[in-house]
Structure 1
Amino acid sequence: MSSPSEVLDEGRNCWRIARADRLGLIIDAEAYFKAVKEAILEARHTVYLIGWDFDTRIKFEPEGSTLDGPNKLGTFLRWIDKSRPDLQVYVLKWDLGAIQSLGRGTTPLAILDWMTSNRIHFKLDGAHPKAAAHHQKIVVIDDILAFCGGIDMTADRWDTREHKDNDPRRRRPSGRRYGPWHDASTIVTGDVAKALGDLARERWLWASGEKLEPPPDRPSIWPASLEPTLSDVDVAIARTIPEFEDRKAVREIEAFYLNAIASAKHTIYCESQYFAARCIAEAMAARLKEKSGPEIVIVNPESADGFLEAVTMDTARYRLLKLVREADIHDRFRIYTPVTREGEPIYVHAKITVVDDRLLRVGSSNFNNRSMGFDTECDLIVEAQAGRKGVQGIRDTITAIRDDLLTEHLGRKPAEVGALVREHGSLIAAIESLRGKGRTLVPYEPDEPAGIEEALAENDLFDPEAPPSWSKRLLGIFR
């Protein structure tokens, strides 16, 4: 594999490495929803919206609109269609099937309204193996600006970084409240945005058979509500694509994870919706057995969202944590759940990995088997490579991002985390010294699973690593 200072390898653990004039890390959907609307307002030629799900009833700004145009996604797109006669909008949503769609409120009906225009194009993407998911969350504006990460433009996602208890703004379109939700995405300009435009056009071709042409060049844009995190930096795009018909499998994300874990010198910090991928757990276990291996900190939700996911993913997490903890002979592993000031668990949907001060990954992939080879995923990665211009600034920024995330989870001041890491020489020791009552990180202790839960976790029916075994099992069930 690559040397410890150079993990990224185009064509093996990433698809392309392209320059970003500016890159911003977006934490939580309050900032994301507003920035996406700002960007669409600046679009002149094409907008690509690619997602696992869209709900046209969601509000960009639940506390009241400060931007032009309607505040709800569906009515805003209809307004954009009328006010931007040269703009083409392409909406690509995972085709989860007609039966499942019946449970998603008025979304399908609202989408039909868009089809009265010849400038708003909507497709359900079923170009995937049976029961696989198109899990990418990508927005591209005129090939000059793009968003890529883990935030879906659907219900139950909007929240602020404060994750306030009983926040009245956290409401579904039905009016029902939902709990605190932690998420993340990125925004990029430059060549990497154009590369994401290429990816979007490829996805549209798979779904529709229609080949789209790139938009003409135009000056760069940037949402006024966001500050760039990095400038003039190389960004890698890593993908998971399952084998389907004549399309070959792509497992760049899995390769990156394994290379990144193997390369870590001091710390691996991860936020993920799940901890259910055996390959990840085994790679971490191998490093924990080493005398001078890295500390590993994982931030997970208390439980997966939904009954079936909880049974499957939480049971898999129980089994894999047993494997990892048995390997942790030097006491360098921790897994935490964030809670609000009043102790309510915050759901972790963010997908972030920080390795030392050298690697930052943000995307759609989770630590589960599906993200390694069965679902369609897309991550962005920044590496601080030794000898490159500005490398120390990149390293400082990657460290600051990790500390800023921990500041949010621990309810502390920004300077405290970094100062204590330096004082203790240990990320885990710093976290432990800062944990307390109220807003904090709570050590996760799994309940022992029941027999049926063990049985589900033992097979690959709900979290398969690749299409073939899944397809055979699925056909057997519905035959």
Structure 2
Amino acid sequence: MNPLVIDRQTDDWFWRRERADRMAVIIDAADFFKAAKDAMLQARHSILLIGWDFDARIELEPKGKTLAGPNAVGPFLTWLGKRRPALDIRILKWDAGAVYSIGRGETPLTMLRWKLSGPVEMRLDGVHPPLSTHHMKLLVIDEAIAFCGGIDMTTGRWDTREHAENDPARVSPRKTPLGPWHDATTCMTGPAAKALSDLARSRWAHATGEMLGPFAGDFDIWPSDVTADFETIDVSICRTLPEHLERPQANEIERATLAMIAKARRRLYIESQYFASRRIADAIAERLAEPDGPEIVVINPDTADGWLEAQFMDSSRIRMMGVAREADHNDRFRLVYPVNEAGTPIYVHAKIMIADEQLLKIGSANLNNRSMGFDSECDVVVDADGDPQAEARIAHIRDDLLAEHLGLSEDEVRDALADGGSMIALVDASAQKQYGRRLLPLPMRELTPDEEMMAESDLADPLRPRKLARAFHKLFG
């Protein structure tokens, strides 16, 4: 057995492992939204969308409609449901996300119309520990195809891989210009899609008390513009679920993440919205302290999205940077952020981890405490297990992502990494450029006393529901 492969004899780091007949990695929401619409147009029985947020106003093809039906997702689902009365369409989103919907005009009206007369049933998920969020992003169609990753069908997510400056299609429903946004998801068919359907239905049952029966899905659905990266490959499904009511704690994503960090031999490539988990930072530091450990590149946004998140998560990131850098005696760690051709920072929302050419993990979980134990999350893991074809596809995905961020061709990245070449050398060379796509180092600085207090606060970024309860008790007695 390849020494990198996560031990297949233990099952404590995944919930289910099932075969995907086809699986693709989809980068950025322009391709995901179009692929999702294409797949939903092929639905015969059911559409089940599980997300952190949902905005009925967003256009699925803002650069110009090429597929049938309305372009805005809410009217599209209404049109599809009325056109196919037997189609069961359901949406579940985090209940606190409803607060964001108040100022969205058409979204609350669409929700009200659906509630009064269908054809879509939309429910809010409020069955979770206090301050916990429902963060999974799943779309399952007829149990024949499933999307799982980090992209919600909401405002601000759509962008192309060019992340062009002032792209006229990258606007809010009210036509306010939006900044560049980088994200990722997966698409798969076969038993792995059925397993993700089981997870989505269990989320619906926990939130609503209604157990949905299996939806028929014995035929092929696949978006016409999506090319499969893998065929007939095992996919491990990992969850984070906070202990709640009768449901036990599930920490499979944390264990899978730690296992991948421990198993990487030469290269560990990471994209995440945050870098704020002490356990993850300590695991990375342990590898950096080794005399011949892997080089590690972590790609974050330049700052968290929103003032409050920036106050807590950026402070925590500086603390974790310090943990990693203190152990980095051999200069094998970089924490960087991407900018587009004009030098504008690209917001990184993708959650990706690639260990060498052997292990690929994509999903909804960030490298923060909440994602490791407090919010609901779902990641999928592909293990090449020594298969040369799978190894080549994992290497392609990593090199393609690096090429996008560095403003290089994939061939240039692949050639640079051949025969033991260095990701860090590529990143450092990119940072010297004065223009164009590149990755820039996140600056290290001293924390203020207030930031020190916030940096690892259980109130801002709790690891477990019980830790949050203890923090409240300590604060308020």
Q: Shorter chain as normaliser: what TM range?
A: over 0.9
Say which is worse superposed, 450-459 or 44-53, in terms of deviation: 450-459
- Amino acid of the structure 1 residue aligned with 2:365: S
- Amino acid of the structure 1 residue aligned with 2:112: L
Corresponding residue of 1:26 = 26
Q: State the shift of 1:457 in Å.
A: 1.7
TM-score normalised according to structure 1 size: 0.95
- After TM superposition, list the pairs within 5 Å mapping 1:114-193 onto structure 2: 114-193=114-193
Say which is worse superposed, 77-86 or 276-285, in terms of deviation: 77-86
The question of whether the paired residues in 2 share the 8 Å contact of 1:384 and 1:395 is answered with yes
Q: State the shift of 1:246 in Å.
A: 1.2
Q: 1:419 aligns with which of 412, 415, 419?
A: 415
Q: State the shift of 1:380 in Å.
A: 0.7
The question of whether the paired residues in 1 share the 8 Å contact of 2:277 and 2:368 is answered with yes
- Amino acid of the structure 1 residue aligned with 2:256: F
Q: State the shift of 1:425 in Å.
A: 2.4
Question: Which string of whole-angstrom CA distances, capped at 9 and with x for unpartnered residues, describes residues 13-57 of structure 1?
Answer: 010110001001000000000011111100000110000000000
- After TM superposition, list the pairs within 5 Å mapping 1:377-396 onto structure 2: 377-386=377-386, 391-396=387-392
Q: State the shift of 1:175 in Å.
A: 1.3
Q: 1:448 aligns with which of 443, 446, 450?
A: 446
Q: State the shift of 1:446 in Å.
A: 3.5
The question of whether the paired residues in 2 share the 8 Å contact of 1:297 and 1:334 is answered with yes
TM-score normalised according to structure 2 size: 0.96
- Amino acid of the structure 2 residue aligned with 1:40: M
Q: State the shift of 1:110 in Å.
A: 2.1
Corresponding residue of 1:365 = 365
The question of whether the paired residues in 2 share the 8 Å contact of 1:8 and 1:256 is answered with no
Between the aligned partners of 1:193 and 1:99, the Cα distance in structure 2 is: 31
Question: Which string of whole-angstrom CA distances, capped at 9 and with x for unpartnered residues, describes residues 123-177 of structure 1?
Answer: 1011110010000000000001000000010000100000001111111112111
Say which is worse superposed, 170-179 or 444-453, in terms of deviation: 444-453
The question of whether the paired residues in 2 share the 8 Å contact of 1:7 and 1:260 is answered with no
Between the aligned partners of 1:401 and 1:80, the Cα distance in structure 2 is: 34
Corresponding residue of 1:235 = 235
Corresponding residue of 2:465 = 467
- Amino acid of the structure 2 residue aligned with 1:406: L
Corresponding residue of 1:72 = 72
Q: State the shift of 1:347 in Å.
A: 0.3
The question of whether the paired residues in 1 share the 8 Å contact of 2:339 and 2:438 is answered with yes
1:407 equivalent to 2:403? Answer: yes
- Amino acid of the structure 2 residue aligned with 1:271: E
The 1:432–1:458 alpha-carbon spacing in structure 2 relative to 1, beyond 3 Å, is: closer
Q: State the shift of 1:401 in Å.
A: 0.6
For the residue of structure 1 that corresponds to 2:312, the secondary structure is helix
For the residue of structure 2 that corresponds to 1:404, the secondary structure is helix
Say which is worse superposed, 107-116 or 27-36, in terms of deviation: 107-116
- Amino acid of the structure 2 residue aligned with 1:290: E
Between the aligned partners of 2:208 and 2:437, the Cα distance in structure 1 is: 47
Gaps of 5+ in 2: none
Question: Which string of whole-angstrom CA distances, capped at 9 and with x for unpartnered residues, describes residues 194-215 of structure 1?
Answer: 0011011111111111111112
- Count of residue pairs brought into register by the alignment: 474
Say which is worse superposed, 418-427 or 208-217, in terms of deviation: 418-427
Between the aligned partners of 1:414 and 1:153, the Cα distance in structure 2 is: 29
The question of whether the paired residues in 1 share the 8 Å contact of 2:78 and 2:119 is answered with no
For the residue of structure 1 that corresponds to 2:123, the secondary structure is strand
The 1:370–1:260 alpha-carbon spacing in structure 2 relative to 1, beyond 3 Å, is: same
Q: 1:397 aligns with which of 393, 400, 403?
A: 393
Between the aligned partners of 2:154 and 2:198, the Cα distance in structure 1 is: 24
Alpha-carbon RMSD across the aligned residues, in angstroms, is 1.8
Between the aligned partners of 1:63 and 1:325, the Cα distance in structure 2 is: 43
Corresponding residue of 1:439 = 437
Between the aligned partners of 2:222 and 2:50, the Cα distance in structure 1 is: 20
For the residue of structure 2 that corresponds to 1:151, the secondary structure is coil
For the residue of structure 2 that corresponds to 1:148, the secondary structure is strand
Corresponding residue of 1:35 = 35
The question of whether the paired residues in 1 share the 8 Å contact of 2:5 and 2:359 is answered with no
Say which is worse superposed, 453-462 or 83-92, in terms of deviation: 453-462
Between the aligned partners of 1:10 and 1:81, the Cα distance in structure 2 is: 43
Question: Which string of whole-angstrom CA distances, capped at 9 and with x for unpartnered residues, describes residues 225-254 of structure 1?
Answer: 111111111001000000011110000000
1:308 equivalent to 2:308? Answer: yes
Q: State the shift of 1:100 in Å.
A: 5.2
Between the aligned partners of 1:27 and 1:116, the Cα distance in structure 2 is: 36
The question of whether the paired residues in 1 share the 8 Å contact of 2:6 and 2:259 is answered with no
Corresponding residue of 2:248 = 248
